[in-house]
Structures are given as C-alpha cells and as structure tokens.
Structure 1
Amino acid sequence: MLAPADNGWQVRQGGPRRLWDAVETAVAIWEEYGSPSTAAFGVTASRDAQLIWLGNPNGPQ
C-alpha cells in the first residue's frame, strides 16, 4: 500500500519479496546511468532466463 505521509510517502510491503525496495534500486541504477530513454533498453529471453539490458546485451543488466 502506498499512502502520503508527513515526510513523503509511506509504503507497506508484504509477501516473500520486497518489491518496493526493488523499484527503488532500479530507479537509482537508472539515474546512475544518466536516466536513459526507454529506446536504449533491450530484452533477451530464453527458456532459462530473462534479461533487461542497457545499450547492448553485454551492457549493464
């Protein structure tokens, strides 16, 4: 649940994975690389894995 709080937003997480923590990490990495446009990203999917990469398949993942 996402709700306004006095000092920003309050997030309550539940379940086996802390999804909001993953969102915050992804945004920090995106900003670290200069906030690239969505056109700079690609996806490689196989039977065993799915990878989202920046620039080319050997770029940051």
Structure 2
Amino acid sequence: MEQYDKFRILKDLPEEGIIKGQTGCILEVWDENHFEVEISDPSNGFTLFLGALSRDVLEVVK
C-alpha cells in the first residue's frame, strides 16, 4: 500500500464510526502496517474520518 492509494474498508469499526465498504485515500504511510487515511462523504466531499488505521482493515482498490 502506497501514499494516495484508494482503499475499501473490510469490516465495521463502530468506535470510529466507520462502516464496511466505505472508501477513502491513504494520506501517509507510517510503516508497512499503519496508515494515515481519510474517508470522505462521496456526495459532498466532507471528511467523515481522518486518522490512523491498520492494514488488516484496508483493501486497495484500483
């Protein structure tokens, strides 16, 4: 996974308000397993989540 890759969430993370299937962008690669990401509302572009997530909940999409 690289900076600016688009990803899909693989499982619900209710404590973060994240729902399986949401998509976002990797903003920063901290190490091979941890990333700073942004998930935005596709209808208006507002940020829904901005923070760190681990590789096990992300799937890169092309």
Give TM-score, length-normalised by structure 2: 0.26
The structure showing larger relative contact order (alpha-carbon pairs under 8 Å, at least 6 residues apart) is 2
Give TM-score, length-normalised by structure 1: 0.26
Identify, as 1 or 2, the structure richer in strand.
2
Identify, as 1 or 2, the structure richer in helix.
1
